[in-house]
Amino acid sequence: MAGQNSAPSFLSFAQNALNLQSAAIFLLIFLVVLKLFRRPKNLPPGPRQWPVLGNFPAVVRSGKHLHEVLAEWAKRYGSVMSVHLNPAHGSSVVVSDIGIAKELLSRQRVQHIDRAAIPLMKEVIDIRGSFLWGAGEPAKELRRFGLSAFRKLGVGKKTLEHRINEEARYLVERIEAEKNRPFDLNLPIHNAVSNTVCSISFGFRFDYDDPKLKKLLESLEIISKMGIEILGNTFPFLYHTPFFAKKREWVNFLRDTITQIVRDHQSSFDENDLRDIIDMRIADIKEKEQQGSGVGTGPALTEEIWLGILDLFGAGTETTASTVLWLISFVLKYPEVQEKIQQEIYEVVGSDRQPSCEDRPSMPYTNAVINEVLRMRPPGVFTLPYVTTEEFQLSGYTIPKGIGVIINLWAMMNDPKVWDRPEDFNPGRFLSKDGKTMIQHETFIPFSTGRRSCLGEGLAKTEVFLFATNLFQRFTFKLTPGAPTPPLKGISRFTFIPEPFRVCAVKR
């Protein structure tokens, strides 16, 4: 009898335990959801949110780019609004006004916001030594080093100009080999731009047919694509599952390749002959080590350096290459613009020498076209993400600690309250009435603004000008008869890039 009674008792006990477990799980889920969706007092207004999914379904349903949707919502809810885009996180504050953005990114607000690392990235790598993702005092020191290194390497000087023009000659030779046939300009442009970054980072360039360069660029393209990454940022642990096997393979390739280059620099390092940024970084770390604040040598040093070099290689390649490709996309749609650029090049530079940075002040129309391309299609439609580090007031709203901050650069440079008919491609908005001088717009910030603006802005502007003028000096870009013009809608990745297109480069 005792045995017969024990079975129901055990079953009852098990059911009670399961009920308690279920109740505990339900309570945990409820508390998480409550935390995520409890709206803090005086938070900026925003669109209505779905439970758990937030505003993500509305973005998907729109069929538009995220920066376009957020710009439309800003017109309805204000230039400071709150949205919920990630199911695993709470609301974020979106800023779409240039004045507020400049205030937020000023040194007076340094205690209020800082860089926020993407959840998936924090799962993948140690962000120490990153120019892009570092935060706090280490990020300030690294930025100071980066600006100093760029100056020493000749950004804004003849030494760097010679490197870019040398690479432009290789690019022109590669395009000439196409002999007026239609081809995809994407790879040659990326090869040329990445080689400029390689020369100042690694101390050498690659041949365009080098399989290592091809794999480096392919790996950058793959890891910058969006898709499953959205799920990975919601649940970072998925990075270690088969879903991300290919992504892990490419990340490991980049890490191993750059780490080996850093090790080679360590073994041949000469403090009296600093060849590139890696050497300068090694010297910087050794100096700090002597002062008692370094990271040491060997594996610790390579781990400190490799990610920063990847930042320069990746961001430096994608931003400039995409701008040059956007420029050619626009002149294919507006061929009269290409003719005016070429006329200006003929009058200022001629055909017997390469363009120079000294020519820039005498070429207002070419510079205006480049600025208009950057305004309409900035390489980054948003700044890199921020997070608040303490509660503060902004435009009459209370911004709580720990909330994400999204700054919509695209919205600011396509704001009809600031720019007349911003949807129109109009280089004239950057020119004086007589067309002889450039107009500087305070609201033109394609490389962001403030203390965390793009570290390589000077390098990027020099590259775009020299590559563009070299190309238009030697070629006229045309579509094959009957081919449609590039749609100019763009593809959102780490940068905002044009859709693939084929073009004929007719030698001039």
Q: From the annotation, which residues make up the binding site? A: 454
SS3 317: helix
**Are 198 and 278 a contacting pair, CB within 8 Å?**
no
Coil, helix or strand at residue 420: coil
Q: Please name the amino acid found at residue 349.
A: V
* Dihedral Cα 17, 19, 25, 31, nearest 10 deg: -120
Binding residues for heme: 454
HSE-CB at 191 with a 13 A cutoff on CA atoms is: 24
**190-192-198 Cα angle (round to 5):** 95
Strand, helix or coil at 45? coil
CA–CA distance, 279 with 473 (Å, rounded to integer): 36
Return the number of other C-beta atoms located less than 10 Å from residue 105's C-beta: 23
**What does residue 398 show for φ and ψ, rounded to 5 degrees?**
-100, 115
Residue 6 has, within 13 A of its CA and on its CB side, a CA count of: 3
Residue the block writes with tokens 């604040």: 293
Number of H helices, E strands in the chain: 17, 12
Tokens of 51: 């439970």
How far CA 309 is from CA of 31, 62, 149, 153, 283, in Å, comes to: 42, 37, 12, 15, 15
- As beta bridge partners, residue 491 has 497
Angle at CA of residue 227, ends 384 and 387, nearest 5°: 25
